[in-house]
Chain A
């Protein structure tokens, strides 16, 4: 190990980490603590006074039908983005991880969408699905013999379209990591399995997939953060949570309650609930990642 390569420099390490620690305390830990505090208060209109209300923000939150529906919408949306996204990416990465010519070209040609922002992805998909005049409604109408696809009035279609756009944008990122993970699976293992008569399908699930588990668990976490938060721009550009509240994800509701309705206590309570969910998943993720590989028997 590297520890203590330069004995006698007692203060230097502290000086080296001081800027990072300062930023973390001032802009992350401090505000987070404040967020916990504010979740137990309500502020009067114009923010002149704050009143301690105990758990009332939380009670109001969990008994609110809008919040419950937002939770369900977020779960559906994230499940789609995570499972559809990761499955397709792993399939593509597996195809790429072969001894064929031009791998370098395919690699960049399949990952470049990583550089697009959620907002850019959102606006492009919104144009492709533009009701009545867009390309996709045209194709759907031709194929179905006149069905009018309007995602601006049909909530279920809207949720599907935003989820598909979000998934598409994330494919590049997922492919990069899966490909890197696959390249670390020792070839001898797979050859040995082949000699023992295992089918490629069986070899994949018994050897490759377990050995990929650190990568998969990392990507699960990153994709969850993405589906929970980073898609805000995509939602704001495409649907603003509508039609009705069909695409109102938790992060969008949080923004609306905190910054449009200026209900800071209520918004802080929502922040805290989201934090609990994320930290739970983060801890599980770290456990899996540090165990290196999980073998399913």
Chain B
């Protein structure tokens, strides 16, 4: 067999396996989308239906009304965007300080930033909740956002990138009489835009997925987030769960982070690649 045909056959096998994997991985979501288009009766047909129905719009509007989805969508979007933006800004500032300046206590303060990794919410959950109560932040956007503002992921991402920037760049800026903040805002931040986009994707998805913390610090329907909306749809079952309506709610809940990921996928993948290559 010639080398050419062997290579070809190898490629066809690889494509076949990859396409199969794409289908298997996507199947649960495809199944959810199909269910979201069925009527209640159709969703309980046996054997289960794998052909879409025509009740999609009705199911979406049922889910929307039942779980107050409009408000939940607004809340989730607001907290995800604000937290992602603030985290990015704080991480950029801290990474700039740690890479471009020498100051007493730098090593210690950097370690302090790194310990956030070891203190995820569950290891401090009761006192953090009590703190929210003390501040009067229960059922407020503050409680949903402020405790998330520190980001080790972002600090590491930008620190790594800043260290690859040639030193001539800040030196030239300094010689030209630019202040450090001017260099930071007009040169360093603009050339970091791939990493900024990557971090935005990571943090947006992270916040959009929050469940435990919103469950604890919010009690009113007005302040809930979309993930809890799914739980409310599931709990509002009468006799049997209305999977068609629940899946409709699920489908709209997964759209925003998917859109963010698809729109920024190039920067996201590049940002991760940059972080992995040390």
Interface residues of A (CB under 8 A from B): 1-6, 9-10, 12-14, 16-17, 19-21, 23-32, 34-35, 38, 92, 95-96, 98, 100-102, 106-110, 112-121, 123-128, 130, 133-135, 138, 168, 171-172, 176-177, 180-181, 183-184, 214-215, 225, 228-230, 232-233, 236-237, 251, 254-255, 258-259, 264, 267-268, 271-272, 274-275, 278-279, 282, 292
B230 contacts A123, CB within 8 Å? yes
Measured as residues with beta carbon below 8 angstroms from the partner, the interface class of chain B is 35 or more
CB interface residues, B 5-51, toward A, < 8 Å: 11, 14-15, 17-18, 21-22, 25-26, 28-29, 31-32, 35, 44, 46-48, 50
The contact sample of 13 A-B pairs, CB cut-off 8 A, is A1-B163, A6-B101, A9-B180, A14-B97, A31-B124, A35-B125, A117-B257, A124-B250, A127-B246, A135-B48, A177-B272, A271-B122, A272-B123
Task: Say if the beta carbon of B254 comes within 8 Å of chain A.
Answer: yes
With A127-B32, A134-B48: A117-B208 Cβ-Cβ less than 8 Å: yes
A168 contacts B28, CB within 8 Å? yes
Point out the residues of chain A lying under 8 angstroms from B180, CB to CB: 5-6, 9, 12
How far is A173 from B94 in the complex, measured between Cα atoms in Å?
Answer: 26
Point out the residues of chain A lying under 8 angstroms from B47, CB to CB: 138
A27 contacts B146, CB within 8 Å? yes
How far is A198 from B234 in the complex, measured between Cα atoms in Å?
Answer: 55
Which of these, B94, B98, B254, B260, contacts A117 with CB under 8 Å? Answer: B254
Across the two chains, which residue of chain A brings its CB closest to B231? A237
A28 contacts B116, CB within 8 Å? yes
Task: Say if the beta carbon of B113 comes within 8 Å of chain A.
Answer: yes
CB B272 to nearest CB in A, in angstroms, measures 5
Among B113, B122, B243, B272, the one with the most A-chain Cβ atoms within 10 Å of its Cβ is B122
Among B97, B205, B246, the one with the most A-chain Cβ atoms within 10 Å of its Cβ is B97
Task: Say if the beta carbon of B112 comes within 8 Å of chain A.
Answer: yes
* Besides the known contacts A23-B150, A28-B150, A183-B273, 10 further A-B residue pairs in the complex with CB atoms under 8 A apart: A3-B101, A5-B174, A14-B103, A19-B93, A28-B147, A31-B124, A31-B131, A110-B25, A258-B125, A274-B122
A2 contacts B146, CB within 8 Å? no
A271 contacts B113, CB within 8 Å? no
Task: Say if the beta carbon of B100 comes within 8 Å of chain A.
Answer: yes
Point out the residues of chain B lying under 8 angstroms from A264, CB to CB: 126
With A5-B100, A6-B101, A233-B209: A95-B150 Cβ-Cβ less than 8 Å: no
Secondary structure call for the B interface: helix
B44 contacts A133, CB within 8 Å? yes
Across the two chains, which residue of chain B brings its CB closest to A238? B234
Point out the residues of chain B lying under 8 angstroms from A100, CB to CB: 11, 14-15
Which of these, B28, B100, B205, contacts A115 with CB under 8 Å? Answer: B205
CB interface residues, B 248-266, toward A, < 8 Å: 250, 253-254, 257-258, 260-262, 265
Point out the residues of chain A lying under 8 angstroms from B162, CB to CB: 2
Across the two chains, which residue of chain B brings its CB closest to A136? B48
A23 contacts B31, CB within 8 Å? no
Please encode chain B, from 226 to 238, with 1 for each CB lying within 8 Å of some chain A CB and 0 for all others: 0100110010000
Task: Say if the beta carbon of B216 comes within 8 Å of chain A.
Answer: yes
A259 contacts B276, CB within 8 Å? no
Interface residues of B (CB under 8 A from A): 11, 14-15, 17-18, 21-22, 25-26, 28-29, 31-32, 35, 44, 46-48, 50, 90-91, 93-94, 96-103, 106, 109, 112-113, 115-131, 146-147, 149-150, 155, 162-163, 165, 167, 170-171, 174, 180-181, 183, 205, 208-209, 211-212, 215-216, 227, 230-231, 234, 240-241, 243, 246-247, 250, 253-254, 257-258, 260-262, 265, 269, 272-273, 275-278
How far is A200 from B21 in the complex, measured between Cα atoms in Å?
Answer: 22
Point out the residues of chain A lying under 8 angstroms from B128, CB to CB: 27, 31
CB B200 to nearest CB in A, in angstroms, measures 13
Point out the residues of chain A lying under 8 angstroms from B209, CB to CB: 117-119, 230, 233
Point out the residues of chain B lying under 8 angstroms from A127, CB to CB: 31-32, 35, 241, 243, 246-247
How far is A121 from B273 in the complex, measured between Cα atoms in Å?
Answer: 26
How far is A64 from B122 in the complex, measured between Cα atoms in Å?
Answer: 20
Point out the residues of chain B lying under 8 angstroms from A2, CB to CB: 99-100, 162-163, 165, 167, 170
Point out the residues of chain A lying under 8 angstroms from B149, CB to CB: 19-20, 23, 27
How far is A74 from B258 in the complex, measured between Cα atoms in Å?
Answer: 30
